A = this chain, B = another copy of it.
Amino acid sequence: MHRTKIKVVEDALDSNNTIARANREDFDQHGVRVVNLMSAPGAGKTALLERTLAETGDLRVGVLEGDVQGSMDADRLASMHVPVTQLNTDPGFGGECHLDANMVRSAIPELPLEEIDLLVVENVGNLVCPAEFRIGEDARVMVSSVTEGEDKPLKYPLMFRTCELVLINKIDLLEHLDFDLERFLGHLDDVNPGVERMPVSARTGEGVDQWRRWLLGVAGRAGPPAAEPVAP
Contacts and interface: CB of A to CB of B under 8 A. Distances in A.
Interface of A: 2, 5-6, 9-10, 13, 40-42, 67-70, 72-73, 91-97, 124-129, 131-132, 145, 147-149, 151-152, 154-158, 170, 173, 176-178, 203
A147 B128 contact: no
A97 B42 contact: no
Nearest to A67: B155
A68 B126 CA distance: 13
Given A5-B92, A94-B158, 13 more contacts: A9-B92, A9-B93, A10-B93, A40-B42, A41-B127, A69-B154, A69-B157, A73-B155, A93-B158, A94-B132, A95-B128, A97-B128, A178-B203
A127 B94 CA distance: 10
B2 A94 contact: no
B173 A176 contact: yes
A94 B126 CA distance: 13
B2 A149 contact: no
Nearest to A127: B41
A155 B69 contact: yes
B41 A156 contact: yes
A89 to B, nearest CB: 9
A73 B152 CA distance: 11
A154 B154 CA distance: 29
Contacts of A147: 42, 145, 147, 170, 173
A163 to B, nearest CB: 13
Q: Which has the most chain B C-beta neighbours within 10 Å: A40, A42, A69, A125? A: A42
A150 B30 CA distance: 38
Nearest to A124: B128
A169 to B, nearest CB: 10
